[in-house]
Structure 1
C-alpha cells in the first residue's frame, strides 16, 4: 500500500523491510496520512492484486487508484535497502516471525500466491539453504567472473520475476536509504515544505536476527548469487557486500 498526505503533497510507497512501518506511522499520526488504497484489492480467487500495505506506483496507476494527473501533484518517495542485509531480514521474518500466521486460515499469508507454501518450506531451512533454493545456481563460468549482462541472466533464470527493489523505486521522485533513514526522511519532507520533520520511531524490527551483521550469514557461493541477481540494485544505489 501507499500512504498519501494530501495537505503536504506527499505519496509514500511502502517497500518491505525498509523501515516503512515506522515512516507510515509518522505520516499517519502527524501529517494527516491516509491509506491508498483504503483496503486490499483482491481478485476473484481472494488473492491480492494490490496489497494495502505494499504496493507500487505502477500498481496504483494501472488499477486507477491514482491518475497520472494526480500523481504529478504529489512528491512520491520510497526507501531502498542493501539487498544483502534485506535478504537476511526477510529470512528471519519468514523463518520465525510469520510462522504463527500459518495457523490462521484467514491470514494474509494465504492471499499471496505461494507464500504459505514458502513459509512451510523455510521453517526447516538454514539461510544458506534458502538462498540456494530461491536463486538458481549460476553457470560455472560466471561464479568467479564479472558479467555486464548479469541482470539479464538473472531475469532469464528467475523467469523474469520482478524484484521488489526495482518495482518500488520505479517512477518515484525520491529514494531514501534505510541505512540513513532519518536524514533522508527529513530531507524529503523539507523539500516538500514540511517544517520540523518528525523523528521516525523504532517499529517492527526483526527481533530474531539479534542485530547480527548480515555478512556472517553468507558463503562465497551465496554472496556471488546475490551479486548477480541483485546486480541492478547494487549498481544503481552503490551497495556492496
Structure 2
C-alpha cells in the first residue's frame, strides 16, 4: 500500500499482482522510503491493506480527493504464482529460517495436490492447511489469504469474502490488470502527473503458464473459489 500526498494517489496492493514492482519504482522516483509501504505511521502492518480499511484510515474526504488504484490478476495464474513463491523460497517452507512466514507448503506433492487440497478445505480446512495463527501473527494470517473466496472482489468492494454477490461498489478509481501491467501502469502515471516509469519485476517466480498445468477438476475448484473475481474482472476460464 502506498500513499503519495504530493501527487495525491493511493495504491491498494493486492498480493501477486505486480504490486511490489509498482511500489518500488514509485518509491525510487518519488524518494519515498520503501519501508513505508509496509507499515503505517502507527507501526501497524498495512502492505496489503484492503480498500475499505484504507478509506476508513485516511477519511472520506481524502479518499474522494485522491486518485485510488489497484491491479487484479487471473485467479488461476495468481494461485499458481503464490504456490510457486511459497515453494521456491526457504523462508516459507523452513520454520528455522523464519517462523512467522512458515507454512508447511512442502507437504504438497505438487501444484495439483495443492489445488485438490484447496478444494477439500473450502469450508473446513483439512490437516494440510491447518496451523496455529496465534503463533504466526499477521504474516501468518497473510499466508492464509488464498483461502478467502473471491479475494480480489473482497479487497476492492469492502465486502468480506465477496458478499453482496459481488455487487458491492468498487472503491478505487482505476483497476488495472496484471496481464496488461506496463500499459495500465503507464495510464496511472499519466493520470497522476508522472512520466512513464519503467517497471522492474520484483518478487517474480519461475513457473509454467497456468494453462499447461490445470486439469478440468483443478479449474472447477478454483472457479468455485473465485467465481466472482473471474466474472467481475472479465477473466476467461479457458
Q: Which runs of structure 2 are paired with 1:162-181 in the superposition (5 Å)? A: 162-170=149-157, 171-181=171-181
1:184 alignment partner, SS class: helix
Match of 2:95 among 91, 99, 102: 102
Measured in 2, the distance between the counterparts of 1:39 and 1:163 equals 29
1:78–1:168 CA contact under 8 A, matched in 2: no
2:10–2:67 CA contact under 8 A, matched in 1: yes
2:69 alignment partner, SS class: strand
Aligned to 1:234: 230
Measured in 2, the distance between the counterparts of 1:52 and 1:178 equals 21
* Uncovered stretches (5+) of structure 1, i.e. residues with no partner: 42-50, 110-115, 139-159
Would the alpha carbon gap of residues 101 and 56 (structure 1) be closer, same or farther in structure 2, given more than 3 Å must change?
A: farther
1:88-145 CA-to-partner distances (Å, cap 9, x unmatched) read 111111222243562245x542xxxxxx3xx21544331111111112389xxxxxxx
* Uncovered stretches (5+) of structure 2, i.e. residues with no partner: 123-146, 158-170
What RMSD, in angstroms, separates the aligned Cα atoms of the two structures?
Answer: 2.4
Aligned to 1:185: 185
Aligned to 1:54: 48
Greater helix share, structure number: 2
Aligned to 1:7: 6
Aligned to 1:37: 40
* Rg larger for: 1
Aligned to 1:220: 216
Q: CA deviation at 1:22?
A: 0.6
* TM-score computed with the length of structure 2 as normaliser: 0.73
Measured in 2, the distance between the counterparts of 1:29 and 1:101 equals 32
Measured in 1, the distance between the counterparts of 2:100 and 2:92 equals 12
Q: CA deviation at 1:185?
A: 0.8
Measured in 2, the distance between the counterparts of 1:10 and 1:120 equals 38
2:54 alignment partner, SS class: helix
1:103 alignment partner, SS class: coil
2:73–2:177 CA contact under 8 A, matched in 1: yes
2:149–2:226 CA contact under 8 A, matched in 1: no
1:131-189 CA-to-partner distances (Å, cap 9, x unmatched) read 11112389xxxxxxxxxxxxxxxxxxxxx945431233331111111011111011122
Measured in 1, the distance between the counterparts of 2:152 and 2:12 equals 11
* TM-score computed with the length of structure 1 as normaliser: 0.72
How many residue pairs end up in the alignment?
A: 195
2:151–2:226 CA contact under 8 A, matched in 1: no
Q: CA deviation at 1:18?
A: 0.8
2:95 alignment partner, SS class: helix
Aligned to 1:68: 60
Measured in 1, the distance between the counterparts of 2:104 and 2:224 equals 27
